[in-house]
Each structure stands twice: as C-alpha cells, then as structure tokens.
Amino acid sequence: MPRISGEGVSGNQGVVLTLRTLEALAHSKGQMGVTELAAKLGTTKTRIHRQLRTLLEHGYVAQSEETGRYRVGSRLISLGRHVTEASNLAGLAQPHLSKLREALGQSCVVSQFEHSGARIVMALSGRSPIEIGVKPGSLLPFHNSAQGRVMLAHADPEFRKTVLARPMNATTPETIVTREALLVELEKVRARGWATAANQSAMGLNALAAPFFDASGGVVGAVGIVDLVQYLPPQPLPEQLEAIVQAAAGISTSLGHIAGQ
C-alpha cells in the first residue's frame, strides 16, 4: 500500500535518484558507466539504465559512441548556465569585497575555483598609490598563489592528488615546487582555513586568501588581498586575518552554505 504522505517520505522517489545521477555525472569530470553509477548511488543497474535512457532521449546526458559510457549532456549544460547566471557570484560577492577594501585599504580579489587554477572574477585596487593587484579573467596556478592553495587545500582529495602530480614551475627562488613540501603546506592551510604566499609568485609580494563554499559544502572560490610583503607580512596581522575570514564566511552564507561544514 502506498505511503500517502504522513511525515518524512513524500513525493516522487524516482526523481531524487535522477538528480543524484546528474550530480554524480557533474562531479565526475569524465564519463561514467552504468555499473559505476549503480554502485556509487547504491541501487541496481536496471534502475540507473532506465533513468539514463530517459535522460539521453531528452538530451540531458550524452553517451559516448564507442565506450557506451555516459557524460553530461548539452541540455543539462544549458540548464546549468541559466541557474548559475541566476545565482551570480560576482554580484553576490561584491558587497563583501567592498567592505573588505573599506576595512583594509588593500587590493582585494575574488576568484573562482576551476580545474586549471583560480580564475580571477573581480578585483578592487587598493588605496596605495602603487598599483598592486591581479587582472580579472587571469588564472592563478594552484601551487604558487594564496588563492589557488586555499582552494586546493579544501578541494576534493582525489582532485588534489591529480594536481599535485602535475609539474610545478618556480616563479621565484622560494616557490614551493616539490609535491611533499606543498602537501605539508596544504595540510596547514586546510587546518587553519587561510593561506598566504609570500615571495611565491614574485619576490616582495604576498597574498592572503580564505575559501568560500556553497550549500553542498564544496569549495566555490576564494577571497583574498594582495600587497607587498612590507604591508602584508608572512604572518598576517590579526585584523587582516579576521577581515578575510569574515568576508569569506559572508560570501559562503550568501551562497547558501550552512556554517559548520
């Protein structure tokens, strides 16, 4: 007999499987097989297969012609574009960034997590007559920038592993370029929730960054300040730390993240 509604369980239950399937496909960078999905989602192959058939027919997923595995489809991408546009990271982060600039007077930056690094989304230049900052649209490497490090530290462990396997170039004599050293640094960063990068991308330059997260707990991007080491020491001032952490927390909240993991 059907459980009508009562409490807790209600509505369609096939739907949640579908959405979890799409989530799994979206989170996995490449393609996924039926069996793999069934195992990951704890259900039978048949169910997954039927769902995928339907999704395939409507263009939400696509199937590799040769391997038979499935990947995100064009219609889902289109949906994703509309959704992210509605959420609008730049607009959401702007008040927090302005407040940060107001409080510290230094160059402030918001960047977004991408698989190839930290993409600068927005920047406000500091009050100092000397222009220190990064250009919007540019991509910061994971290994030698505060923004990149703090994202990598909070990213999916498996993804972190693949990044650490990539070769790292030294932009200064002090740049961390060995897998082991960076691993140690990242562990420290993850534990305290913020990262610095003194003399890492250029001598005399430092940055301080903290991550923000969305509702699912995944890291979306980072907010940070950039300045000369003289004004932003390797061990940042308490007010700088507090301001950054607060700004990051504010953006997280705006993104629907519930504090406390």
Partner DNA sequence: TCTTGTGTTTCGGTAGACGTAACGCTATAT
Partner DNA sequence: ATATAGCGTTACGTCTACCGAAACACAAGA
The nearest distance, CB 132 to a copy of itself, in angstroms, is: 17
**Partner from DNA, a copy of itself, none binding residue 3, C-beta < 5-8 Å depending on class:** DNA
What CA–CA distance (Å, rounded) separates 180 from 178?
6
- Calculate the CA dihedral of residues 154, 157, 158, 159 and round it to 10 degrees: 20
Q: Are strands 117-124 and 219-228 parallel, antiparallel or unpaired?
A: unpaired
Is there a contact between 91 and 199 (Cβ–Cβ < 8 Å)? no
Q: Is 136 in the site for a copy of itself (CB under 8 A)?
A: yes
Tell me the sheet residues that pair with 119. Answer: 112, 139
Report, in Å, the least distance between residue 71 CB and DNA: 11
Q: Rounded to the nearest whole angstrom, what is the least distance from the CB of residue 213 to a copy of itself in the complex?
A: 10
Any contact of residue 14 with a copy of itself (CB under 8 A)?
yes
* φ, ψ for residue 101, nearest 5 deg: -60, -45
| Options 36, 99, 114, 125; binder of a copy of itself; rule CB under 8 A | 114
120 is an interface residue for a copy of itself by CB under 8 A: yes
Closest of 102, 133, 117 to residue 246, by C-alpha: 102
Residue number, 11 or 238, with CB nearest to a copy of itself: 11
What residues contact 44, with CB distance under 8 A and at least 6 apart?
38
Between 1 and 165, name the residue whose CB sits nearer to DNA: 1
Closer residue to a copy of itself in complex, CB, 12/235: 12
Q: Which does 68 bind (CB under 5 to 8 A by kind): a copy of itself, DNA, none?
A: DNA
Residues paired with residue 206 on neighbouring β-strands, in sequence order: 227
CB-nearer residue toward DNA: 12 or 169: 12
In angstroms, the Cα distances linking 38 to 55, 120, 158, 216 are 16, 37, 20, 21
Binding residues (CB under 8 A) for a copy of itself: these are: 10-16, 18-19, 22-23, 26-27, 29, 50-51, 53-55, 57-60, 72-88, 90-91, 113-116, 119-123, 135-138, 214-216, 218, 220, 255-256
